[in-house]
Amino acid sequence: MCEQVANGHWEGQLSASALSTATAISALSFYQSSDACEPELVNQIDTQVEAGLTWLKLQQNEDGGWGDTGLNYSNISTSMLVVAALHASNRMEEFKDSIEKAESYIESEGGIDGLRRRYGKDKTFAVPILANCAMAGLVPWKEVATLPFFAACVPRRFYSMIQLPVVSYAVPALVAIGQAKFILDPPRNTISRTILKCFVKPSLKVLEKMLPASGGFLEAVPLTSFVAMALIKTNRASHEVAQKGVQFLLNSFRYEGENLGSWPIDTNLATWNTTLAINALANHPESFAQAYSANPQRWNSCVDWVLSCQNGETHPFTGAAPGGWGWTDLSGAVPDADDSPGALLALKKISLLRELAGNDENSQDSQIQRAAELGIDWLIKLQNTDKGWPTFCRGWLKLPFDRSGTDLTAHVIRSFVAWRDEISDSKSRKIKVSRAIETGFDYLKQHQEKDGSWLPLWFGNQDMPEDINPFYGTAKVLMAYRDANLFDTKEAQFGLRWLRDNQNDDGGWGGGPSISWQNPVLGKSSVEETALCTEIMLDDPNPESQNAARNGVRWLLEATESNLITEAWPIGFYFAKLWYFEKLYPLIFATSTLNRALRFQEDNESSKT
């Protein structure tokens, strides 16, 4: 509870990111060298760039590369971006040894071809990385693929039909990087040049309309950096998008100590963290009701805050209708199908705890009801034709992070199950919700792996093949089966068996040999994955699952007693395989599971008496 801020929500803190730090340094260095650089920003840029470079030097792995965070293995993407940043900031001589080691690592990973293999057909990140390197003078522009920036001028409703080579939320990069390629390496064909030139200003207008008040696209440092540097290097550093982007980067910098600093992957996950925390605390209803009764004003403020995060107008970035929630209350957030059901579940739990606390008359109840109905309607319209739910936009099924996801679909189903009986007297809405739940489970059945697991879209494990995280995915999907009272289905039983069969010898789940705090007592498992898998084992009456749950609870208790419950693990994926970790994840996930275990223990003791 000490992480809860004054108005009742949880902001949390995302990990420092070498990838974000590198892209920010490149963008700021290019800006400082431009004629449009504001004199009053020079010292601030110098300080941040110097602190960021010093921090990056300390983050270089023994193999010469860099991982996205201090807990990740080296990867070619981040390593190339760091080298580009060292060149962009003219620190080649000072960091000569670091650059030589990095170049050796990059070569061992296949260089440019290795980068392209990493992303396949998805150009969302490969093209901006190579463009960043080209701007820094490391690769020729001919190595940078052409992006159809003109496609941004097509009405948004047709985006999914024209099969863009980038994911739905990377349109700003499509425009800015695509224009940079066109301007700095124009096509030889005169007709092509003439036609494309006609689309530069109109597509730039699209970029302007998508610009959030904060200046940060998606509140994401890498995306904003790529857009800003592309405009700066094409002599448009004075443009509003570039100016606001630079200011966003300066505002996003975080000091890590004396002369050290870095940038996170995104500003924060405040809405996501808050709804996760509410749902975790609600796993022990009596304690939650007592906390509410002790300070109802604080909790009412928290509810007001969650309600205020609901999107109330057509979103300028994705064109999403009102009704959804994004991951933060900040202007760069975009409503999606993971944060929205998280908010719906949290609001439902708040309503229930008020009744338990004896405070069932509250003016917020009608607001919660309206918000829930609007959120449910929004999610129903988002469902894909394959019966699953995507993150942001319906119909974008071509690229990995635009497709439907089992974790998203399961989360939506859970929110529908929670509100199904209380979403007004609208018969048509109830029918739609029931049908969506049924078809959502059809999608989950179709996408269960042959071994019984489910693979999530937005969370990974760097020690698993293809960075997948079946621990997170399977646990999250099984929560939907649990909430819908479908644990006795063959799909659920198959998934539960997979979790039992893949419990680590130390009693936990997940993790890997690179886990930073691995020790003889706790072994290699992670708090986050262990908590999620243990929680679902607690709900299964099967004696084997109960035994697995006991071992999981023991592991979590030992982690708590060893003061390791706050050690985060990089299970988080951002778009295009960008890793992060969040300091509140282990605390929230463990709280949820231990609260559920405590409630079960109390219920068992009560039944015996």
pLDDT of 477 above 80: yes
Longest Cα–Cα distance in the chain: 87
Task: Label residue 408 by pLDDT band (50, 70, 90).
Answer: very high
Domain limits at 133?
A: 16-264
Exposed, middle or buried, 323 (CB in 10 Å: 0-12/13-18/19+)? buried
DSSP 65-100: -B-SSTTSPPBHHHHHHHHHHHHHTT-TTTTHHHHH
pLDDT of 24 above 80: yes
Residue 254 sits at φ, ψ, to 5 deg, of: -125, 130
Q: Which residues pair with residue 344 across a beta bridge?
A: none
Q: Is 432 or 515 the better-scoring residue by pLDDT?
A: 432
**Tokens 């980038």 appear where?**
166
Helix (H) / strand (E) containing 262: strand 260-264
Task: Label residue 421 by pLDDT band (50, 70, 90).
Answer: confident
pTM exceeds 0.85 = yes
Highest mean pLDDT: which of 6-10, 203-207, 365-369, 390-394?
203-207
Residue 89 sits at φ, ψ, to 5 deg, of: -90, 5
- Answer whether residue 238 is part of any domain: yes
- Answer whether residue 517 is part of any domain: no
Task: Label residue 163 by pLDDT band (50, 70, 90).
Answer: low
Q: How many domains are contained in the chain?
A: 1
| Ramachandran category for residue 116: left, alpha or beta (phi over 0 → left; psi -120 to 50 → alpha) | alpha
Q: What is the pLDDT of residues 286-327, one digit of tens each?
A: 888 888 888 888 888 999 999 999 999 888 888 889 999 999
- Answer whether residue 591 is part of any domain: no
- Answer whether residue 381 is part of any domain: no
**Tokens 């392209």 appear where?**
116
pLDDT of residue 362: 66
Average pLDDT over residues 530-551: 97
Task: Label residue 242 by pLDDT band (50, 70, 90).
Answer: very high
Q: How far is CA 182 from CA 135, 141, 147, 192, 443, in A?
A: 13, 10, 9, 10, 42
Task: Label residue 162 by pLDDT band (50, 70, 90).
Answer: low
pLDDT of residue 317: 82
Question: CA 299 to CA 516: how far, in whole Å?
Answer: 36
pLDDT of residue 394: 86
pLDDT of residue 565: 87
CATH number at residue 27: 1.50.10.20
Task: Label residue 576 by pLDDT band (50, 70, 90).
Answer: low
- Answer whether residue 571 is part of any domain: no
Helix (H) / strand (E) containing 255: strand 254-257
**DSSP three-state, residue 574:** strand
pLDDT of 516 above 60: no
DSSP 217-235: GGGBHHHHHHHHHHHHTTT
Range scoring the smallest mean pLDDT among 111-115, 116-120, 161-165: 161-165
Task: Label residue 524 by pLDDT band (50, 70, 90).
Answer: confident
Q: What single letter denotes the amino acid at residue 64?
A: G
- Of the chain, the end-to-end C-alpha distance in Å amounts to 33
**DSSP three-state, residue 209:** helix
- Answer whether residue 60 is part of any domain: yes
Question: CA 141 to CA 184: how far, in whole Å?
Answer: 8
pLDDT of residue 294: 86
- Answer whether residue 241 is part of any domain: yes
pLDDT of 519 above 60: no
pLDDT of residue 521: 54
Q: What is the pLDDT of residues 526-537, one digit of tens each?
A: 999 999 999 999
pLDDT of 124 above 90: no
- Answer whether residue 254 is part of any domain: yes
Question: CA 461 to CA 36: how far, in whole Å?
Answer: 43
**Tokens 């304690």 appear where?**
287
Question: CA 342 to CA 273: how far, in whole Å?
Answer: 9
Question: CA 3 to CA 5: how far, in whole Å?
Answer: 6
Question: CA 518 to CA 525: how far, in whole Å?
Answer: 8
**DSSP three-state, residue 459:** strand
Tell me the pLDDT of the chain averaged across its residues: 91
pLDDT of residue 256: 87
| Ramachandran category for residue 69: left, alpha or beta (phi over 0 → left; psi -120 to 50 → alpha) | beta
